[in-house]
Amino acid sequence: MDTLSSGKDLLFTLLLKVGVAASVAALLARSAIFRKVLFTEIRDWDEKRNLVLFLTPPLALGVLLRLVGHPYRFADLMMEGSFLLGLLGGRVVGPIGGSLVSLPALFIRHEWLSTPLAAAAGLLGGLIRQGIPNKEDLWSFGPFLFLSIPRWLVRLVRQARGSWEMLPLAGCVALELGRLGLGHALPSRWLFFIGAHGTWPNVLVLLATVMSVAVPIKIWNNVRVEMNLEQHQQLLLKARMDALSAQINPHFLFNTLNTVASLIRFDPDMARVVVIKLSNILRRLLRKHETFVPLREELDFIDDYLDIEVVRFGRDNLEIFKQVDDRTLEAFVPSMLLQPIVENSLKHGLAPKLEGGHITIRTAAQDGRLVIEVEDNGIGIPDVRLPQVYADGIGISNVRERLRVLYGGDFKMEITSREGKGTLIRIEVPELVPALPTMG
């Protein structure tokens, strides 16, 4: 028993107790493994084991601190932590974890009721978890839920409808009242509790117990909400990328099939060669579903595509130059990044040009950034039309939108052109390279 006669000492101790509970909850929430356990509502045995492994050490350490000296009595969260283990892990995890937390008090100070009380708290938490139909209602248990008691009572009387989140609140109050009753009825050395003289001091003790359970649940629920939002953002990103890919691929195939159709009349043998090359491209498209691919693969894809386009324009009328920095070949870029740009150069820059044309592809690595340039010597873009290029057509607008979705604001896409001289498209993105294997 630990009775505090001074109101200031009691208030200070109870505030520190709630602060310790909040600190432990916040520290545990930084672990990716523990966050995964929180996010998974239906937990297997491995996740329940992780729950015990994460929660019991800091709770047992708090009990040890209380045993070391009188000033650290606020660190003991044995009953509250056992109840939390039951709420999160169930009616098996709760008693097991609570019993483990109580061992220092049992063996060092011989507090004989510590283990039964901790196991009972864990079991009660597990039974409450089992009794609530929708487990999400557990996460509605917040620090200020007790303020809703009058409204809950009115609804219970008028509509005969209760609130499941009130069960954990009732469980906390029942456990603390039981501990106070046992502590006063039995020898003081058998059980630790914070006693107080008077009605309102004991109300503060009850409130601190409730807050020591509700604050961690509130912190962890915020973590769950953040993880849920992140997961939905990832799903939204994937959906948008799939939609953009579905938009660019039919556009590319439509133009390529037009090339094949134009060759069938004049050179059927060459049309067959083009169809074979097109089948290689389709095989690669069907095989690849990654958002990012190494630049080397993207350049290989462009080679296959340009083989078809060279046939269309004639080998004497189209030249391809590459100025590729070898350090950039393994950097990751969005899949199908270059093909719409090269196709745009061919279709709008070089196709209207009577004499021969060329396309130059350059890559470079500069201060952790990957720079890609595609330049042609086509007819160029009039100055009045240049601001509309990003919005007109599928190719360029698609590339810019995909870059915006993937990189946010951390990319640059610039188009410079001189009418009658050609167009340069410059893309700058973070240089993403595969991690090197560690030696061990």
CB atoms within 10 A of CB 1: 15
Average pLDDT over the chain reads 82
Task: State the Cα–Cα distance between residues 414 and 427, nearest whole angstrom.
Answer: 7
d(CA 231, CA 222): 14
Tell which residue, 89, 160, 77, 98, has the closest CA to residue 128.
Answer: 89
Average pLDDT, integer, range 53-82: 90
Bigger pLDDT: 407 vs 356: 407
438: helix, coil or strand?
coil
Q: How far apart are CA 74 and CA 16, in angstroms?
A: 6
* Tokens describing residue 334: 């969005």
3-state SS class at 333: strand
Confidence band of 99 (pLDDT split at 50, 70, 90): very high
Which has the closest alpha carbon to 109: 52, 188, 4, 196? 188
> Is residue 440 pLDDT above 70, yes or no?
no
Burial group, residue 6, by CB count within 10 angstroms (0-12, 13-18, 19+):
exposed
Pairing verdict, β 318-324 and 332-334: unpaired
How much is the average pLDDT of 106-125? 93
pLDDT score, position 76: 93
Summarize the confidence of residues 316-321 as an average pLDDT: 77
Question: Is the per-residue pLDDT at 351 higher than 90?
Answer: no
Pairing verdict, β 292-294 and 357-366: unpaired
**In sequence order, which residues have a C-beta less than 8 Å from that of residue 18 and are 6 or more positions away?**
208, 211, 212, 215
**Looking at per-residue confidence, does 352 or 83 come out higher?**
83
Task: Return the SS3 of 271.
Answer: helix
Judge whether residue 400 has pLDDT over 60: yes
Return the minimum-mean-pLDDT range out of 40-44, 250-254, 354-358, 418-422.
Answer: 250-254
Distance CA 145, CA 210 (A): 10
Query: What percentage of the chain reaches a pLDDT higher than 90?
Result: 32
**What DSSP state is assigned to residue 432?**
B
Is residue 250 helix, strand or coil? helix
- Confirm whether pTM is higher than 0.85: no
Per-residue pLDDT band for 264 (boundaries 50, 70, 90) equals: confident
pLDDT average, residue stretch 126-134 = 88
* Whether 374 contacts 342, CB under 8 Å: yes
What pLDDT, on a 0 to 100 scale, did the predictor assign at position 288? 52
- Residue 243 — pLDDT band, cuts 50, 70, 90? low
Residue 438 confidence class, pLDDT cut points 50, 70, 90: very low
Nearest alpha carbon to residue 38 among 202, 48, 432, 18: 48
- Which tokens hold the place of 417? 């052109």
Q: Inform me whether the pLDDT recorded for 377 exceeds 80.
A: yes
Portion of the chain with pLDDT greater than 70, in percent: 82
Question: In sequence order, which residues have a C-beta less than 8 Å from that of residue 16 and are 6 or more positions away?
Answer: 74
Q: With contact defined as beta carbons under 8 Å apart, do 124 and 200 qualify?
A: no
The per-residue pLDDT for range 278-288, each reduced to its tens digit, is: 887 777 666 55
Does 393 score more than 70 pLDDT? no
Q: Which residue has the higher pLDDT, 247 or 362?
A: 362
The pLDDT of residue 25 is: 94
Q: What is the mean pLDDT of residues 67-75?
A: 82
Which of 8-12, 159-163, 189-193 shows the highest mean pLDDT? 189-193
Residues 244-265 have a mean pLDDT of 69
CATH architecture of structural domain 267-430 = 2-Layer Sandwich (3.30)
Q: Helices 114-131 and 78-89 sit at what angle, rounded to 10 degrees?
A: 30
> 143 versus 191: which is more confidently predicted?
191
Top-confidence residue, 361 or 390: 361
Return the DSSP state at 41: S
Q: Identify the weakest region by mean pLDDT among 130-144, 160-174, 231-245, 271-285.
A: 231-245
Dist. CA 96–CA 407, nearest whole Å: 47
Half-sphere exposure for 372 (CA within 13 Å, toward CB): 22
pLDDT band at 274 (very low <50, low <70, confident <90, very high): confident
pLDDT at 403 over 50: yes
Domain ranges in the chain are 2-231, 267-430
Banded pLDDT at 436 (limits 50, 70, 90): very low
pLDDT of residue 156: 60
pLDDT of residue 277: 79
* Least reliable range by pLDDT among 228-237, 262-271, 404-413: 228-237
pLDDT at site 26: 93
